[in-house]
């Protein structure tokens, strides 16, 4: 998943070390929840500094090594395929327009539509476009919902027990947490219910780390 990929604007399944010197990316099987202080409550396995989510806000610079990877890949590319991007945020929007041709698949118009490099322009949905592209290239299609292991995570103990290492979606996380919420006697107010649910979600996350 990480090999060679430059993830300019982060990944919900990746936490990032807050130490500028280390900056390690740590993969998670569950979506990392963004909090106001950006901290996830977990520590970097390499240097022990607090981990944050890996998202990028407008004021934040792009992670250098990811930008470098993306620049190298775009310079070397004979053809760039843009999938589901408005092509309006620099520098990412400029990356596909190097020496090679460009294909754009997006439901709305983009500033790249009329450019000389743009050889393919499709308004199809990405899944449909990729289905036909992979057919044409004779490549095996990924199975629908091929988030392996996530299936097994549906049971109340599944996620912790399964060694599959597949990704668990936000919806599946909520389902797992719902099965763990502390049972209380009598009336339980909404605030308490939310706190209990948050605790259960933390517990599920801890089991997947």
Residue positions forming the annotated binding site for Zn(2+): 17, 22, 44, 47
Q: Which residues bind Zn ion (CB under 5 A)?
A: 17, 19, 22, 24, 44, 46-47, 49
Q: How far is the CB of 11 from Zn ion (least distance, A)?
A: 17
Q: How far is the CB of 56 from Zn ion (least distance, A)?
A: 18
Question: Is 132 a catalytic site residue?
Answer: no
* 3-state secondary structure string across 112-165: CCCCCCEEEEECCCHHHHHHHHHHHHCCCCCCCCCCCCCHHHHCCCHHHHCCCC
Contacts of 33 (CB under 8 A, 6+ apart): 40, 53
Q: State how far the alpha carbon of 169 is from the alpha carbons of 13, 31, 63, 115, 200, in Å.
A: 10, 7, 25, 37, 16
Q: How many CB atoms lie under 10 A from the CB of residue 108?
A: 9
Measured from the CB atom, the residue of 24 and 27 that comes closer to Zn ion is 24
Pairing assessment for the beta strands 39-43 and 50-53 based on DSSP bridges: antiparallel
Measured from the CB atom, the residue of 52 and 162 that comes closer to Zn ion is 52
Measured from the CB atom, the residue of 23 and 155 that comes closer to Zn ion is 23
Q: How far is the CB of 19 from Zn ion (least distance, A)?
A: 5
Measured from the CB atom, the residue of 49 and 85 that comes closer to Zn ion is 49
Q: Which pair of tokens denotes residue 83?
A: 């999938």
Q: How far is the CB of 178 from Zn ion (least distance, A)?
A: 33
Active-site amino acid positions: 9
């Amino acid at each position: 998943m990480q090999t060679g990929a430059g993830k300019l604007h982060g990944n919900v399944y990746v936490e990032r070390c807050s130490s500028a010197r280390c900056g390690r990316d740590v993969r998670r099987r569950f979506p990392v929840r963004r909090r106001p202080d950006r901290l996830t409550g977990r520590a970097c396995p390499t240097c022990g500094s607090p981990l944050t989510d890996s998202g990028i806000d407008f004021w934040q610079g792009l992670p250098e090594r990811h930008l470098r990877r993306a620049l190298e890949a775009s310079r070397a590319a004979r053809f760039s395929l843009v999938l589901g991007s408005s092509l309006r945020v620099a520098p990412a929007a400029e990356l596909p327009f190097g020496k090679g041709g460009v294909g754009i698949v997006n439901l709305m118009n983009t500033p790249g539509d009329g450019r000389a490099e743009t050889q393919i322009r499709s308004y199809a949905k990405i899944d449909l476009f990729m289905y036909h592209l992979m057919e044409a290239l004779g490549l095996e299609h990924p199975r629908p919902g091929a988030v392996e292991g996530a299936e097994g995570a549906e049971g109340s103990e599944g996620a912790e027990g399964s060694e599959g290492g597949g990704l668990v979606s936000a919806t599946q996380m909520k389902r797992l947490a719902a099965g763990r919420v502390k049972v209380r006697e009598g009336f339980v107010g909404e605030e308490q219910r939310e706190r209990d649910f948050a605790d259960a979600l933390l517990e599920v996350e801890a089991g997947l780390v």
